[in-house]
Chains A and B, each alone.
Chain A
Amino acid sequence: MKSQEGMTIIVKTVTRISVWLIFVYGIYIIFHGHLTPGGGFGGGVIIALGFLNVFLAYGKEYIKKWLNIGLLHDLEATSAILFVGIGIIGIAMTGGFLANFLSKGTLFRLFSAGTIPLLNILIGAKVGVALFLVVWSLSLFHIDEGGEQ
């Protein structure tokens, strides 16, 4: 019974279904950031909360198998670099840092507003991964015993 990590079977079953809906909702919020309320920050936190949901329901060992934590670190750093990269491309194309160099498109369409959706996606990935990593590293320690496990 040592392997009985996480919460009960009911919570695990519900999580298995609901977590994908949470991810879809987060991605929707990110992609529609230039049309509706929300955007990169809100959607990123929703994605982080989805990861957190799995983490709380299934426990540490499952997450270690399910996710590649090193890859998440890389993803976080990559999105920060790409943000600056888009800014530098803006200098090359139009002469201003972070200038909007893509076509504006039609108002109220999903693919419009130039670089704004791209930057929203990058911010969403960065915020989501970074916040999950903080909780992940905080949970690696049992500070009751005054030391790591």
Chain B
Amino acid sequence: MPIETWLIFILGFMIVGSIMALEIKDLLSSIIAIGIVGLALSVAFLFLQAPDLAIVQFLFEIFAIIILILAFLKKEYHKKDDPSNTNKILTLVTVITLGAILFFSIDVFKALPAFGEPYMNTAKYYLENGATETGSANLVSAIILDYRAYDTLGEVTVLFTAILGALTIIRIKKKSSGTEEDVV
């Protein structure tokens, strides 16, 4: 089979999986469905010749599932009051609007380069000179840590800030709840 057929199959699988993740009532099933979508994305990266991304996506998906399950699984809130029931009219209007967006954006996709025939202006330089200029056989590593190391520095900063933010949010809780108890 050509690669396009495989990718259509995987993408269809991902769409079905994400709709299931959003519509299912049970929380654990929902989180597992999102995990399936992420793992299917990892397989798609393998088909698209990006083994670096496949490894990273696979591991991060596992990590995200563990975080979500640790944080959310113990609660029984969705048995007491069901927040997943939504306004029917609002849902209908949203679906129609998104369908219209899809319909009108089909013309845009015709203007893009066809699948399998990228332009590769910048990439040609990287592919020809990357190994000799950086000494790294893995050209993706060569790009993220040599040609575009600024990107990686920014990314490390963003990760640092996000993690710091998460830690700060959690720590504030400790103190504020303590003072609330003191007040009460």
Contact = CB atoms under 8 A, between A and B. Distances in A.
Contacts of A137: 166-167, 170-171
Size class of the B contact interface (CB-based, 8 Å): 35 or more
Contact of B141 (A39, A104, A108, A139): A39
Given A119-B145, A148-B177, A134 B166 contact: yes
Given A114-B134, A137-B166, A83 B156 contact: yes
Contacts of A29: 55
Interface residues of A, number: 54
B146 to A, nearest CB: 6
Given A116-B145, A137-B170, A49 B63 contact: yes
A42 B66 CA distance: 17
Nearest to B139: A34
Interface of B: 51-52, 54-56, 59-60, 62-63, 66-67, 70-71, 74-76, 131, 134-138, 140-142, 144-146, 149-150, 152-153, 156-157, 159-160, 163, 166-167, 170-171, 173-174, 177
Contact of B145 (A35, A115, A131): A115
A102 B99 CA distance: 54
A130 B155 CA distance: 14
A135 interface: yes
